[in-house]
Structure 1
Amino acid sequence: MRLIPGLNSDAQVLIAGASRGIGLALCTALLERDDVAQVWAVARQASTSVELEKLAERHGHRLERLDCDARDEQSLEALAREIHQECNHLHLVISTLGILHQDGAKAEKALSQLTLTGLQATFATNAFAPILLLKHLLPLLRKHPATFAALSARVGSIGDNRLGGWYSYRASKAALNQLLHTASIELKRLNPASTVLTIHPGTTDTELSQPFQANVPEGQLFEPAFSADRILEVVGAHGPDDSGSFWAWDNRPIVW
């Protein structure tokens, strides 16, 4: 399967949140593909990541590590400038940015646990960072086939919310879904060959899910490598006609 529909050349790919978890697994999987020319691995401390260093030792110049805090617009501006010096077009961008219980964020179970600090921290990473990443990389996505995908979560679905709880996380992912759906309409006008997707990767064995893994049914906790493979399958299955849509790891649509 082609990396993205309609692409007839080797791909330039950017992974945001690349230093651990699903982001690192995506970098690993992409570098194993013959149709990927280069992977831009972006994280707050990409240049000092031991795991990314190991990948760089194996793949050389095909892996570029760039430090960037996607919650900071100056950092995003610098990222876009640096990439544009070496690359005129990105074919695939995947944002794995997201927090649940760090940097001031909390998995609230009741209204009484909500705080402004927690809400702001959660929205800054889960909703604002991915859409600002897209904003600043937009000049690199305006020609030829280009896909921007961001990891969302099924709990961000308003129609699927039956249990409540996790106020900040649910709301921030719902906001991300709306932001990207809106962006897909603009990108279709700018580049008819563009695709914007939100993807639920399933519950994956990462730092984000560790406090809650005891409640995950047997067989439904995925290794990062498995989730990465499924994400790439979803990306490869959906082109411009599906832009602005929301998919699960098993390629089934999720209600908004």
Structure 2
Amino acid sequence: MTESNKRALVIGASGGVGTALVTALSERGYAVTGLSRTDDGLDITDEDSVSDAFGQLDGPFDKIIVATGILAEQTGPEKSIEAVTADELAVLFAVNAIGPALILKHAKHLLPRDRRAVFAALSARVGSIGDNRLGGWYSYRSSKAALNQLIKTASIELRRTHKQLICVALHPGTVATPFTQDYPQHKSVPPGDAANNLLNVMEGLSPEDTGCFFDWAGKEVVW
């Protein structure tokens, strides 16, 4: 199969990184399908919504990329344990962990079993337990750590049926979007650059890399 007739599915296609991924994939010759809450009414936290949306798609897709995520719902990332609330934790876990898990559950039938394919979910370095040196950001860190565990666990199961599938978590770096505009202290990159960095990483992975966590430069991130 040539790159010109490969297919990709981007969830969160109306967001900053998602839109850039759709553009970058199209420029690389992929036929791209995008899904989002804004354009398609997809609620990744509602299993009926996910099931309905994915039930209408015909596979297979060579790349399925989950580009959804939320940094905070109310007052911003927590700086102390006193700032943690059940509501904030619930919302971030729903969007950052439960949503991607539901997507993978209902996208499984859209992944080819007879050739290489990639399922990638955008995670964050702050979700790394081993790399946590600063603390804070309880809900965001924890929800991304949960996402990483879900990806790792699913990769073990899917390797039995999809032997060439690469199921990974990816850290895109700090991308210049409304998502990060309140945190100028972190050096950011334009969405287009981030998208191409992520695609370059995906292109360089092999089935032996399934179940791993990589940053935008292709370096493995400790869990």
- Provide the alpha-carbon RMSD of the alignment: 1.3
* Runs of 4+ with deviation above 6 angstroms: none
Match of 2:54 in 1: 80
Match of 1:254 in 2: 221
Offset, 1:236: 0.5
Question: Is the CA contact 2:61–2:112 (under 8 Å) kept in the aligned structure 1?
Answer: no
The residue type equivalent to 1:111 in the other structure is: I
Structure 1 CA distance for aligned equivalents of residues 75 and 118 of structure 2: 29
Structure 2 CA distance for aligned equivalents of residues 253 and 242 of structure 1: 10
Match of 2:193 in 1: 226
Q: Which runs of 5+ in 1 are unaligned?
A: 1-6, 47-65
Match of 1:196 in 2: 167
Structure 2 CA distance for aligned equivalents of residues 106 and 122 of structure 1: 12
Structure 2 CA distance for aligned equivalents of residues 93 and 40 of structure 1: 10
Match of 2:140 in 1: 169
- What does 1:1-256 correspond to in 2, within 5 Å? 8=2, 10-34=5-29, 36=30, 38-46=31-39, 66-83=40-57, 87-102=58-73, 104=74, 106-143=76-113, 144-213=115-184, 215-216=185-186, 220-256=187-223
Q: How many residues align?
A: 221
Question: Is the CA contact 1:105–1:117 (under 8 Å) kept in the aligned structure 2?
Answer: no
Q: Which runs of 5+ in 2 are unaligned?
A: none
Tell me the alpha carbon deviations over residues 128-160 of structure 1, each in whole angstroms, 9 at most, x when there is no partner.
101110000101114232210011001011111
Question: Is the CA contact 1:101–1:208 (under 8 Å) kept in the aligned structure 2?
Answer: no
**Structure 1 residues 117 and 105, CA, compared in 2 at 3 Å: closer, same or farther?**
farther
SS of 1:211 mapped into structure 2: coil
Offset, 1:105: 7.3
TM-score (norm 2): 0.95
Question: Is the CA contact 1:88–1:140 (under 8 Å) kept in the aligned structure 2?
Answer: yes
Question: Is the CA contact 2:168–2:212 (under 8 Å) kept in the aligned structure 1?
Answer: yes
Offset, 1:67: 3.5
TM-score (norm 1): 0.83
